[in-house]
Structure 1
Amino acid sequence: MDGAVVDRALLDRLLDTDPALRWQVERDLAGAPPEVWEATRARVATEGMGARLLARQDSDGTWAGGAYFPAAPSTVEGQPWTATIWSLNALREWGLGPAALAGTAEKLESCRWEYDDLPYWGGEVDACINAFTVANGLWLGRDMDALAAWFAEHRLADGGWNCFWVDGAQRSSFHSTLNALYGLLAHERATGGTAATRAARRSGEEYLLTRGLLYRLSTGEPVLLERDPAELAYPLRWRHDVLRGTEYFRLAAALDGVPPDPRLADAVAVLRASRRPDGHWAQGVRDPGEMWFEVDVPPGEPSPWLTLYATRVLAWWDAAA
């Protein structure tokens, strides 16, 4: 991409941000040469949010003493976002170099999931948790082939995944399927995948594409999720919405060397319609829960993070058109 995708005033506002966001703006929106954005990216380990979150890591390699949940009960309403999986997700998304976490993968060999006390790098029964674990393990240099193969073995008959399969769910979930796809894509980008994992990724993609990321397959009516897919909020975390969905297909298309699938048109239109006149996307209502510190703006305010992500998607879509 080049700097033409946003006007100068908006670009300047996006550049005046934490190194975790700024390096991506430099690379993807400003068209900066590698030596510029790589230097900014290197600062994630020593400045701003990246350095602050690294400083919260415990000596045993965990954050908050837990895998999915903190060891100590949270006093804040909602899902706590301070434990190891969420902290690793954030650092990976922010572009932290894995060298800053040297030894962490080995230390987490002793960490156990809250579900059945299962070993950390082996995953557990939840498709979303396993997808995050695949991506984080690959980022930290782990062999995650066995856990990636889990997705091919646990795909449902309609082509996707549901984290509640262990409770008898037979129909796939938009949320679970999208997260599984992110994990499979990370595995394929790192290793090339296997015939089984590549087939599973294609199957999951078809599950979402035949529904346009928005609709029930049976009736064509909008899918009823806990939150409207047009409601965007950062951090993105686990929910399916039009931003996380289209961002996945942007990344997958880059790996596959293909243009955008036309079945994404309605989701892209919804994303475009939510852009403010000043070029920003506004922060929505986030899922409640304890965080280590604030990483974006309050609801209703222009979000630099959402604006980066959404602008990249629209630039990708419009360039192909």
Structure 2
Amino acid sequence: MRRPNVRNRLYAEAVIDWLLDSDPSIRWQVMRDLLGAPEAEWKAERAKVETEGWGARLLAHQDEDGQWAGGAFVPRGFDYREWQQVGQPWTATTFALSQLREFGLDPVTDRARRTVELIGANARWDHAGQPYWEGEVEECINGRTVADGAYFGVDVSSVVDRLVGERLDDGGWNCERANGSSRSSFASTINVLEGLLEYERATGGTPESRDARASGEEYLLQRHLFRRLTTGEPADERFLTFLHPNRWRYDILRALDYFRSAAALTGAAPDRRLGEAVDRVRSRRRPDGTWPLDWSLPGRVWFDVDDGPGRPSRWVTLRAMRVLKWCDQTP
């Protein structure tokens, strides 16, 4: 993987200024991941997520019982015709928690701890009324529940054990397994991998969870993050475009950012099989040094955090820059 040239470094300086002229949820990650700022400095910026900007705005929509929109996966009283006609809603508890984790809400704050307690006491999954932190039945949902729970200090070991047991023979996961699918999917696998990584970061993991995470990574690496193993063709052309927030959807930038995050925990160097995906990310840099938002999921949201498809995206740009920094600085 090639080293950045002078022109790219000049891009980076201007783009970093643009990123810093933003929300605290982006600024603290730029300070930590791109600038290498002292921990005390980026932690001070991270603390603002609770009281300023998007983090505070999302927290302001929280119900008194700790949930968002009165439901775990969909809003209370949701009419499924809206899903068919407009799109899946993204305002319920599970998506709010995942977004707060992405924003970087500090899990040790009183507000975060109280939120976790209230959700544990009051939130029930729409599927069959299961207590929220015990998980649902679908691998994608449970992967994100593990990620959120582990991040916010919840014991989600029982859900981890279930996910480990649901791994398919090819090494990954598929949320259609219960309906007979025997082949893993990119989307289900990345959702579970992110959960297992957050669990490992919080607890050290178990031999079984670490083995499962390794096999899930190998599933993606064998396919160079986007290709069919059988034909070598892209499994889905949208895997090569950039989406935010991803929710449950997959793209190569999400996968690369996962591998970067995993390497921060384990010290692993970039696998050579990431190279093609990295080159595709590099090729999508705009002339001004930013990366675009290619598309966004339809459906109800509390508010937008990007300027819309086709425009430069701070979130996509942050991800792309820290992935390239990791790859380019690794000997």
TM-score range, shorter chain: over 0.9
- Residue 100 of structure 2 is matched in structure 1 by 91
Distance (Å, rounded) in 2 between the aligned partners of 1:213 and 1:71: 37
- Residue 202 of structure 2 is matched in structure 1 by 190
- Residue 118 of structure 2 is matched in structure 1 by 107
What SS class does the counterpart of residue 102 from structure 1 fall into? helix
- Residue 273 of structure 1 is matched in structure 2 by 283
The answer as to 2:87 corresponding to 1:82 is no
Q: In the alignment, is the contact (CA less than 8 A) between 1:283 and 1:298 conserved in 2?
A: yes
Task: Give TM-score scaled by structure 1 length.
Answer: 0.95
| 1:197 maps to amino acid | S
Task: Describe the shift of the 1:4–1:275 C-alpha distance in structure 2 as closer, same or farther (beyond 3 A).
Answer: closer
Which stretch shifts more, 139-148 or 73-82?
Answer: 73-82
- Residue 58 of structure 1 is matched in structure 2 by 63
Q: Could you tell me which of 103, 127, 133 is aligned with 2:139?
A: 127
The number of residues matched between the two structures is 317
**Structure with the larger helix share:** 2
Counterparts of residues 177-216 of structure 1 (less than 5 Å): 177-216=189-228
| 1:120 maps to amino acid | Y
| 1:114 maps to amino acid | D
CA deviations on 1:189-238 (whole Å, 9 max, x unpaired) are 11111111111111111111101111111122221x3x511110221222
Q: Could you tell me which of 23, 26, 46 is aligned with 2:28?
A: 23
Distance (Å, rounded) in 1 between the aligned partners of 2:147 and 2:170: 24
Distance (Å, rounded) in 1 between the aligned partners of 2:13 and 2:294: 25
Q: Could you tell me which of 309, 316, 321 is aligned with 1:299?
A: 309
Q: In the alignment, is the contact (CA less than 8 A) between 2:55 and 2:103 conserved in 1?
A: yes
Distance (Å, rounded) in 2 between the aligned partners of 1:11 and 1:140: 29
| 1:61 maps to amino acid | G
| 1:83 maps to amino acid | A
Q: In the alignment, is the contact (CA less than 8 A) between 1:213 and 1:267 conserved in 2?
A: yes
What SS class does the counterpart of residue 77 from structure 2 fall into? coil
Q: Could you tell me which of 126, 136, 141 is aligned with 2:148?
A: 136
| 2:147 maps to amino acid | A
| 1:243 maps to amino acid | L
| 1:117 maps to amino acid | G
| 1:244 maps to amino acid | R
- Residue 174 of structure 2 is matched in structure 1 by 162
Structure 2 spans left out of the alignment, 5+ residues? 1-7
Q: In the alignment, is the contact (CA less than 8 A) between 1:243 and 1:271 conserved in 2?
A: yes
Alpha-carbon deviation of 1:152? 1.2
Distance (Å, rounded) in 2 between the aligned partners of 1:309 and 1:106: 31
Alpha-carbon deviation of 1:102? 2.5
Which stretch shifts more, 32-41 or 153-162?
Answer: 32-41
Alpha-carbon deviation of 1:297? 1.3
Alpha-carbon deviation of 1:35? 2.5
Cα RMSD between the aligned structures?
A: 1.6
- Residue 284 of structure 1 is matched in structure 2 by 294
Task: Describe the shift of the 1:35–1:51 C-alpha distance in structure 2 as closer, same or farther (beyond 3 A).
Answer: same
Distance (Å, rounded) in 1 between the aligned partners of 2:305 and 2:287: 24
- Residue 33 of structure 1 is matched in structure 2 by 38
Distance (Å, rounded) in 2 between the aligned partners of 1:40 and 1:288: 31
Q: Percent identity of the aligned residues?
A: 52
Which stretch shifts more, 251-260 or 70-79?
Answer: 70-79
| 2:119 maps to amino acid | L
Task: Describe the shift of the 1:295–1:232 C-alpha distance in structure 2 as closer, same or farther (beyond 3 A).
Answer: same
Structure 1 spans left out of the alignment, 5+ residues? none
- Residue 257 of structure 2 is matched in structure 1 by 247
- Residue 72 of structure 1 is matched in structure 2 by 77
Distance (Å, rounded) in 2 between the aligned partners of 1:105 and 1:29: 30
Which stretch shifts more, 181-190 or 232-241?
Answer: 232-241
What SS class does the counterpart of residue 293 from structure 1 fall into? coil
Distance (Å, rounded) in 2 between the aligned partners of 1:215 and 1:66: 36
Q: Could you tell me which of 6, 10, 13 is aligned with 1:8?
A: 13
Q: In the alignment, is the contact (CA less than 8 A) between 2:151 and 2:199 conserved in 1?
A: no
Distance (Å, rounded) in 2 between the aligned partners of 1:19 and 1:153: 39
CA deviations on 1:263-296 (whole Å, 9 max, x unpaired) are 1111111111111111100111111011001111
